[in-house]
Amino acid sequence: MGRHQARKLKSSKHAARVRVSGPDDLLAIVPFWLGYRPENCVVVMVEAQGLIRSGCAIALDQCHDTELLGSALGLLCERTGADSFLLVAYGNPRCAVPALEQVRRELTAQTVVESIVVHDGRYWASSRADDPQSSPGRVLDCDASPVTVAAVEAGLQVLGSRADVAAMLAGPDESDDEAAFWWAEAQENTAGWDLSRCIQLVDECLAEAVGALHQPDTQRCAQLGAVVQRIAVRDHAWLAMSLEDGWRHQQLWLWVVAVTPEPYAAPALCLSGIASWLSGGGALLTECVNRCERLHPDYSMLTILRELHDGAVPPSVWRRWSASMAGIGTTGADGPAPPQR
């Protein structure tokens, strides 16, 4: 792997720098970086100054859509300014190898530092001159990598699949009578609250979840979902986020999503999406966009999420952007302009 040896991992307490010394370590880090175990896709990672800065996962069949592929890779290059890439294709080599080759062709002007094919517990790495067509590959044992130990110690988690990520945003089932009761009560109890009382609840829940790492009870989560229907309250919660505590805000709004019925889910989904973006959770951001588009395609804050997602906007813009938002107060019905890098 040469000079491409480090990946900065965010955790609940500190920022850890994990050394990647070869293909085995790189493959061990990918699921933690994505937040789930990839299948039937090409994972594209942007490398700059020895760190994995950004990237995306592209389904194998989408790799043959040259227009879509070119647009996605072009945005990554434009937003990050990097010209070095690491590629990992997951899936049967019969499909994964052609998809990987198509990605490489789109990156002819950039440097591909490493490209790997992974299938059925084995891998083939270009840096080791492995050929999926003529060799049995190398055994993949991520558990033996020190990267796995470091990532777990940093508090990172890996879900089973992309479907598990989507399930985190599913919301309450229609047959969940308890969730329906708490939501109806929350709407009734908060209907007469003025803005200051609503914001007080947000601050109390933030102190509980973000400050004390304690999950608010179902009643308070439902009340939180009800009060953020108001734009000013939603924006107050939004501006309370930070790069350092993004993952804690993400967890809070996921708890709120879990008790919020579909017709009212957009604010909590969008707040979950912003928090996941801040904490580097690209997969969760994607699913927040997908679910909100299905349920509330015209919701104002969804425009922001689309810009963050489609434009691969780096979380580093948050400090400047949030400061400018705070300077003009709450965003109003239409929300603020999307952030620019």
Both 322 and 296 in one domain: the answer is yes
Amino acid at 152: V
Question: Is 166:294 a contact under the CB 8 Å cutoff?
Answer: no
CA 266, 267, 269, 273 torsion: positive or negative?
Answer: positive
Rounded Cα gap, residues 219 and 185, in angstroms: 8
Which tokens in the block code for residue 16?
């850890």
Both 201 and 153 in one domain: the answer is no
Count other Cβ atoms within 10 Å, centred on residue 308: 24
Last residue of a domain, one of 99, 131, 158: 158
Both 39 and 87 in one domain: the answer is yes
Both 137 and 194 in one domain: the answer is no
Both 19 and 106 in one domain: the answer is yes
Which pLDDT score is estimated for 50? Answer: 73
Longest dimension (CA), the chain: 71
Domain annotation covers residue 340: no
For the chain, how many structural domains are there in total? Answer: 2
Both 10 and 147 in one domain: the answer is yes
Which pLDDT score is estimated for 154? Answer: 67
Rounded Cα gap, residues 246 and 180, in angstroms: 29
Domain region containing 189? 168-328
Rounded Cα gap, residues 22 and 1, in angstroms: 5
Q: How far is CA 247 from the centre of its chain?
A: 10
The ranges of the chain with pLDDT < 70 are 1-18, 154-157, 325-341
Last residue of a domain, one of 134, 158, 182: 158
Both 172 and 154 in one domain: the answer is no
Both 154 and 224 in one domain: the answer is no
Which pLDDT score is estimated for 340? Answer: 36
Phi, psi of 131 (to 5 degrees): -125, 115
Both 192 and 138 in one domain: the answer is no
Phi, psi of 111 (to 5 degrees): -95, 125
Rounded Cα gap, residues 203 and 180, in angstroms: 24
Rounded Cα gap, residues 132 and 134, in angstroms: 6
Paired residues of 44 in beta bridges? 56, 87
Q: What share of the chain is helix, strand, coil (3-state, %, to 5)?
A: 55, 15, 30
Q: Output the domain CATH number for residue 59.
A: 3.40.140.10
Both 31 and 109 in one domain: the answer is yes
Which pLDDT score is estimated for 75? Answer: 78
Long-range contacts of 149-156 (CB under 8 A, 24+ apart): 150/9, 150/16, 150/18, 151/9, 151/18, 151/28, 151/29, 151/32, 153/11, 153/16, 154/9, 154/10, 154/11, 154/12, 154/14, 154/16, 154/18, 155/11, 155/12, 155/13, 156/9, 156/10, 156/11, 156/32
